[in-house]
Amino acid sequence: MDAPIIELTDVKKSFGPVSVLKGVSLKVYPGKITALVGDNGAGKSTLIKGLAGVQPYDEGEVKFQGVPVALHNPREAAHLGIEVVYQDLALCDNLDIVQNMFLGREDIELGTFDEGKMERAASETLQSLSVRTVKSVRQKVSSLSGGQRQTVAIARSVLKSAKVVILDEPTAALGVAQTEQVLALVKRLAERGVGVLMISHNLVDVFQVADYINVLYLGQMVASVETSRTTSDDVVGYITGSKTYIEVSA
């Protein structure tokens, strides 16, 4: 097995007297999809915000490609190649696909936006991910379906040469066909060698694409298993706290 691209060891986070993460360890591997599941309030959002540099951990060690790092802000995380696609996608409806993909980091030529260069780069990125559901990169985001919006948000992270992409509920509120399109895109993302961390409540989606499943329960990692070595019933048991954890994989 390849070495993990991200390794968290005993990370903790508290908000005042409330301990949200109670010594959590997690590994994300390049070219693999790692699912993070757990009930509401388990600590999933706090865990990924720490990785994104939004809410730094109070204690514990974070290693990126085997080297200890400190993530004090989102800029430091992005510099390493950690990108987060949040559930709200953070897209601007009044802008087109190209403008959204380059928002805040536009290519400048002679004091103005190099629209041609950005359009080519956006098209090439979508093509590299085998995206065929978007007719034109000049479509306004307001005209896109939920699945197409998720595609644009994921492609934006790839455009930044991401090494790790964190997906927060990527199939939430999507129909069956759109869900299949997004899950296929997630698989292609991993095939490019990107480490994918997918947060999801949908165990059907998780078992369809994930290589590893990690379960948070009340701020503690209670299971970290290979998908092929567990069952949906087992995972539900871990999520609800009704099943005792037995370590299946390192």
Per-residue confidence (pLDDT) for residue 248, from 0 to 100? 44
**Would you state the pLDDT for residue 245?**
64
Crossing angle (nearest 10°) for helices 115-128 and 146-159: 110
Rounded Cα distance between 182 and 179, Å, is: 5
Per-residue pLDDT at 142? 93
Indicate the residue type of 27.
Answer: K
pLDDT of amino acid 128: 83
pLDDT in tens, 36-86: 999 999 999 999 999 999 999 999 999 999 999 999 999 999 999 999 998
Tell which CATH architecture fits domain 6-91+162-240.
3-Layer(aba) Sandwich (3.40)
In order, the DSSP letters of 130-149 are T--S-S-TTSBGGGS-HHHH
pTM: 0.87
CB 82, CB 164: distance < 8 Å: yes
Q: What pLDDT was estimated at residue 95?
A: 93
- Residue 77 CB neighbours (<10 A): 23
**Spatial contact of 93 and 141, defined as CB atoms under 8 Å apart:** yes
Strand (E) positions, 29-113? 33-37, 59-64, 67-69, 82-85, 108-109, 112-113
Distance CA 248, CA 250 (A): 7
Residue spans of the chain under pLDDT 70: 1, 244-250
